[in-house]
Amino acid sequence: MSKKVAVYRKEHFNAAHRLYNPAWDMAKNDAVFGKCNNPSFHGHNYELIVKVTGIPDPETGYVMDMKILSDLIRDHVLEKFDHKNLNLDTEYFKALNPTAENICLVIYDLLREKIDPALDLQVRLYETERNFVEYPA
């Protein structure tokens, strides 16, 4: 079989963050990030969709075992981000602004190193029902 198939895993996590650039004064941060620059932080109910694409294995019929994918997401994303303040509680955003774009890129990197390089990986992250980012685009 040489036909590629995409498999998807949807997960959910809650996290707080603050968008700001420490090199800017409060006025500029407010102008650029608005309410998202709240010094007391704010939170989101993120929805994560991980897409893995490849040719199904001729012996198993799997592109990737979904239990393994679920475990990878739990261990390498949810355990690190769920119910956390991304700015304060994670190493990833100590010096990186935790925008949806940057969160998506970090999640991609965390999973990419754990998933067979022969498989294509795409991460879609919904920050709200109407706002989402995707990598690679």
Q: Residue 43: CA atoms inside 13 Å, Cβ hemisphere, count?
A: 10
**pTM score, two decimals?**
0.96
Condensed to tens digits (0 to 9), the pLDDT of residues 4-31 reads: 999 999 999 999 999 999 999 999 999 9
Residue whose structure tokens are 């707080």: 16
Cis geometry, peptide bond prior to residue 39 (ω within 30 degrees of 0): no
- Residue 2: pLDDT band (50, 70, 90) is confident
- Set 12, 76, 83, 134: catalytic member: 83
For 26-74, the pLDDT digits (tens) are: 999 999 999 999 999 999 999 999 999 999 999 999 999 999 999 999 9
pLDDT number for residue 1: 52
- In the annotation, is 83 catalytic? yes
- Catalytic residue from among 17, 44, 104, 127: 127
Active-site residue, selected from the candidate residues 11, 36, 47, 101: 36
Q: Is 104 a catalytic residue?
A: no
